Amino acid sequence: MIDIFVAFGAGLISFLSPCVLPLIPGYIAYISGSSLNELLEKQNVNLLPIVFFTLGFSIVFIIFGAAATFLGQLFLENSNHLRIVAGIIIIIFSLHIIGILKLNFLNFEKRIYSEKKQGLFSPILVGMAFAFGWTPCIGPILGSILALASTEESINKGILLLLFYSLGLAIPFILSGYLIQKFMIVSKNLKKNMNLITKIGGGLLLITGILVITNQLQVLGFYLLEYLPFLQKFG
């Protein structure tokens, strides 16, 4: 079950990435159809469009997870080799996040712009579009979780993994909309430490990659279940 917590933590790290955190106020203003000044003056922000927006990008990421697990099952006979390859991919991405390895094709994002439309279905479509737009920027983190999903035994487990990744990204996103005034203050402090936070996240993914290669991730999960049996409810 340790992989679920790794996925959730990866979602949190994605939220703190340079292509997400600094632009949160703009995203929320765009989704809600208000200007930033209007949002700051409001006592209550309509969270429903924000929730539907997070549902949109969650759908895309979960589909990615199901596809990764499906492809992994095609190579089930070579599961040990697949696990090692997945671990190597996670390590490469983690080294990029830390800054040791430079993968220039991951240092950009696609900005998605569309006309504002009324209705709750529109934020879902916008969220799905933004998921593809974010993918190049959060690619090392998302790619690491997809590599982990490819080693899962069933598609349901792959879906669960990306569900928790999406929750790690969606929960702080929704809270930011609910507490937009306080978020503006907190985000300034987070921006100052963004480089450190990113490197810590990369370090955790590096450890995960090593555990995957050495097949110790499940062993760590068994230890956690032994001392924290309530975690069995997660999977």
pLDDT tens profile 193-214: 667 767 877 887 888 888 888 8
Please report, for residues 29, 98, 100, the alpha-carbon distance to residue 176 in angstroms, rounded to integers and kept in the order given: 11, 26, 31
- How sure is the predictor about 231, in pLDDT bands with cuts at 50, 70 and 90? very low
Give the mean pLDDT of 154-164: 91
> CA–CA separation, 67 vs 158, rounded Å?
8
Does the predicted model carry a pTM greater than 0.85? no
- Consecutive H or E run containing 206: helix 194-213
Give me 209's structure tokens. 């990659």
pLDDT tens profile 69-88: 888 877 765 667 777 888 88
Q: How far is CA 111 from the centre of its chain?
A: 18
- How sure is the predictor about 188, in pLDDT bands with cuts at 50, 70 and 90? low
